[in-house]
Structure 1
Amino acid sequence: MKKLLMYLLVSGACYGAMAQEESEQSDTSWKKMYRESAPKINDLVHTKLDAKFDYNKAYLNGKVWITLKPHFYSTDSLQLDAKGMTIQKVALSKGSATSPLKFEYDGMVLDIKLNKTYKAEEEYTIYIEYIAKPDEYTGKGSAAITDAKGLYFINPRGEEKDKPTQLWTQGETEGTSVWVPTIDRPNQKSTNEFSMTVPDKYVTLSNGKLTGQKKNADGTRTDTWKMELPHAPYLFFMGAGEFAVVKDSYKGKEVSYYVEKEYGPVARKIFGNTPEMMAFFSKLLGVEYPWAKYSQMVGRDFVSGAMENTTATLHQESAQQDARELIDGNSWEGTIAHELFHHWFGDLVTSESWSNLTVNESFANYSQVLWQEHKY
């Protein structure tokens, strides 16, 4: 009963805050404009990224190999979303060889002339060297997600004594294309392999499994994460910082919690119901949890409540509660259930247009009630 009462109180407070935000929001064009599924000329197949981070400048120095194929009709061109970047090189990649391609770039869209006309199902790989400059991008967020710069360096130069240095990404709705060129639409899906080079003292998190770690002579380390099931670009994720990593498991799959080190001893009190939630939702839906792992990270200064990046959910810092606070119950448990449930509705089955995003969210909202009913 206490749990239910707390849930109702929190829900009421959230509803009041949302109602106030809506009343203050002047732009109501979304109520009149239906954003249908984006036209598909090329399909993403695989995205391989080599990311090195410049913390002093808050830049990402990137090399990306993007494999695509024509969606249906033959095509000799490709348009990629690439917001606020410096594009250094665009080439066709075949094995270890590259050949330059002509391109035009207006600061938002990279328009590439391919070397020939490709037919449907004929794959090709584009290689791009670039610099992402998220702090210089001026795109606007929304009431639900307050910023749109995609990649966030938190206290990158260590100037704030009481704040850790972190980095994390937020793709929804179309912020991924601020830090990696892509077709940034929810009706695209891609597998991915991300290599992240960070100071050796940091741990990293991304989609899929950690498949390799290499220490470098300059005091950095390169971690490689591979995602073998396709998912939408807005669900691509990278995170890094000094975290305690507490591990559980579910049917042989890693379940892990990335929290600031002082919260390591209570991480399971916050997130420890996750394996049981995975079992409950798998049985309820008749579809076993489909992904390779499930990790949850808590990030400072997050621009939303939480985000269901595939296999790598990011929570705002309110998720971190100390032992004394947790005596009265876990105020973040509903959100934990919500983001996990998105791994079926949102990540596995994805709305093809942003105007249908309510389908993702309504199912995830319902999951919170289902979990409360099941557990309490």
Structure 2
Amino acid sequence: MRRVSIRTITIAAATAAALTLGNGVADAAATPGAPGAGDVYFPDYGNGGYDVGHYDVRVRYQPATDELTGTTTIAAEATQDLSRFNLDFALDVSSVRVNNRAATFHTEGEHELVVTPARQIPAGSDLNVVVKYAGIPSQVVAGGFTGWTRTADGALAVNEPESAWWWFPSNDHPSDKATYDVSVLAPDDVQVISNGTLTSGPTAELKGWNRWYWRSVKPQATYLTYLAIGKYDIETDTAADGSPIINAFSTSLGDFDGAARAGINRTNEIIETEEQWFGDYPFEAQGGVAAPPGALGFALETQTRPVYDGRFWRRGGNTYVVAHELAHQWFGDSVSLEQWRDIWLNEGFASYAEWLWSEHEDEGTPQELFDFVYASYPADDEFWQVLPGDPGSDKVFDGAVYDRGALTLQALRVQIGDQAFFEILHTWLADHRYGNGTTDDFIALAEKISGQDLTQLFTTWLFTAGRPDLSATTKLARSSIADTDASPAQPRSWDRIQQVHQAHAALGAS
């Protein structure tokens, strides 16, 4: 997300207009924006030619029929002279306006909305897009699946790497983050939860209908923007810094209700603990949503307020999934990946945060967990064939991305020492705060701070198939582990940590 001053935009627009009026050069140079953001795994995700600054998403939803109608306004800046541009969206569109004029549009494929404005858009100028639409999201299939989950009393717009297609048009790639206003009109017997702070509502707007207004003021990726609509018990509190804590619990949790509250209500405590490892919490609000059991099959780090399938609480308070998703607020949300192949920068770090939390709870150290994970997968296991640094588009959420990613971080920590390791984490998060990063960026930073050539370590753990030989690659050599498949004692935290991975494996299969 790039911010440009009003004066800069005005000058650029005036200059472009002068060229257009004078000799038509600007018109002749205008070209279509790219139909993708250049992602090597998902080349048709996102779009080129513009940079979004803000989304205003205003929808009405009827749970009884799953009907959704909406108007989304996109405030963006053209990054080239645009003759047309694409948005990612899968519902039926009735009209599009660009800079106060009706635009023509058509769809290509399953989620490409191609918009041709009445006038070409000069580079550096405002791009204000208003899209009106309607549909039944749960009946729309794109990419082979439906990213909108209908529940008994509402719906969940929660998924990764795509979910926006089913409820608002967007530039759907983490490389273009924006701020958000999300306004939802829904029947007055359900609640609506989204990102950030509740700026107003629920406010009666029609007989039997309430409107909810949610706002996110920090840059946010499209897939991290969510809706949870249904019957929820909403609890509010205030953190020590004055920011709101908002937790929501589905009324259908049944026997899991108490455990869900026990886990999610420790959110603020876990954030304060993770701040010691990662630096200041990056957002304006916090909390969590316990969704109906079985509705999702996974948890997702939706910005400011993760959403958890209710089944995470089937064995008790499970703070490990909370520690995992909250770590993503730093690794994945504040600092987002530039390409989906760099997914280990999200999942490996969040999984390692579980190991840190385990030590904090006196249930097993990161080294004990490293030893156990390493020994749990025999040398010929398929686990060792997945490369966390480049897993392939079909294995973005493979368990190896999580576990071998965490193994990589423990290998790095032992190799360079605690002081350099935690300095790297703090610096990474500070340097890329609210932006994006790549694996190459992280490796370069690690080498700079440690003063070591770490090529072999990262090549071995992230990019080489096969179980690493500990004695040959790191200072982690432990003869009982390196030379045999004998398992050490299982850390007490392992059972609950496995719940996180099992649920995320379900996500990868969705």
TM class, shorter-chain normalised?
0.7 to 0.9
TM-score computed with the length of structure 2 as normaliser: 0.58
Aligned counterpart for 2:324 among listed residues 338, 347, 362: 338
1:271 corresponds to 2:273: no
Aligned counterpart for 2:154 among listed residues 166, 171, 178: 166
> 1:252-295, CA deviations, whole angstroms, 9 ceiling, x for partnerless residues?
22223211346666554222321121111112112x11211112
Aligned counterpart for 2:105 among listed residues 103, 106, 117: 103
**How many residue pairs get matched?**
315
Measured in 1, the distance between the counterparts of 2:46 and 2:111 equals 17
Per the alignment, residue 126 of structure 1 pairs with 129
Per the alignment, residue 6 of structure 1 pairs with none
CA contact (8 A) 2:178 2:220 kept: yes
Structure of higher CA gyration radius: 2
CA contact (8 A) 1:199 1:219 kept: yes
Per the alignment, residue 229 of structure 2 pairs with 240
Query: In structure 1, the residue corresponding to 2:206 is in which secondary structure?
Result: coil
1:150 corresponds to 2:147: yes
1:212 corresponds to 2:200: yes
Measure how far apart 1:187 and its partner are: 1.1
Change beyond 3 A, Cα 1:48–1:373? same
1:113 corresponds to 2:106: no
CA contact (8 A) 1:302 1:315 kept: no
The aligned runs of 1:1-376 (5 Å cut-off) are 34=41, 40-71=48-79, 73-83=80-90, 85-93=91-99, 98-106=100-108, 107-140=110-143, 148-155=145-152, 165-213=153-201, 214-251=203-240, 252-261=242-251, 267-286=260-279, 288-300=280-292, 301-321=294-314, 326=316, 330=317, 332-376=318-362
Measured in 2, the distance between the counterparts of 1:67 and 1:38 equals 16
CA contact (8 A) 1:204 1:241 kept: yes
Query: In structure 2, the residue corresponding to 1:115 is in which secondary structure?
Result: coil
Query: In structure 2, the residue corresponding to 1:291 is in which secondary structure?
Result: coil
For 1:281, the aligned partner's letter is E
CA contact (8 A) 1:64 1:128 kept: yes
For 1:239, the aligned partner's letter is A
Measured in 2, the distance between the counterparts of 1:345 and 1:121 equals 31
> 1:1-53, CA deviations, whole angstroms, 9 ceiling, x for partnerless residues?
xxxxxxxxxxxxxxxxxxxxxxxxxxxxxxxx755796632111111111101
Change beyond 3 A, Cα 1:132–1:349? farther
CA contact (8 A) 1:250 1:278 kept: no
CA contact (8 A) 1:169 1:237 kept: yes
In structure 2, the gaps of 5 or more residues are 1-39, 363-510
Change beyond 3 A, Cα 1:130–1:306? same
Larger RCO (CA within 8 A; separation ≥ 6): 1
Measure how far apart 1:108 and its partner are: 2.2
Change beyond 3 A, Cα 1:310–1:46? same
Greater percentage in helix: 2
Measured in 2, the distance between the counterparts of 1:246 and 1:79 equals 40
Query: In structure 2, the residue corresponding to 1:216 is in which secondary structure?
Result: strand
Root mean square deviation of aligned Cα? 2.2
Measured in 2, the distance between the counterparts of 1:55 and 1:39 equals 31
Moved more, 201-210 or 37-46: 37-46
Query: In structure 2, the residue corresponding to 1:198 is in which secondary structure?
Result: strand
Change beyond 3 A, Cα 1:39–1:153? closer
Measured in 2, the distance between the counterparts of 1:42 and 1:368 equals 38
Measure how far apart 1:296 and its partner are: 0.8
Measured in 2, the distance between the counterparts of 1:303 and 1:319 equals 11
Change beyond 3 A, Cα 1:265–1:38? closer
TM-score computed with the length of structure 1 as normaliser: 0.78
Measure how far apart 1:179 and its partner are: 1.6
For 1:337, the aligned partner's letter is A
In structure 1, the gaps of 5 or more residues are 1-32, 142-147, 156-164
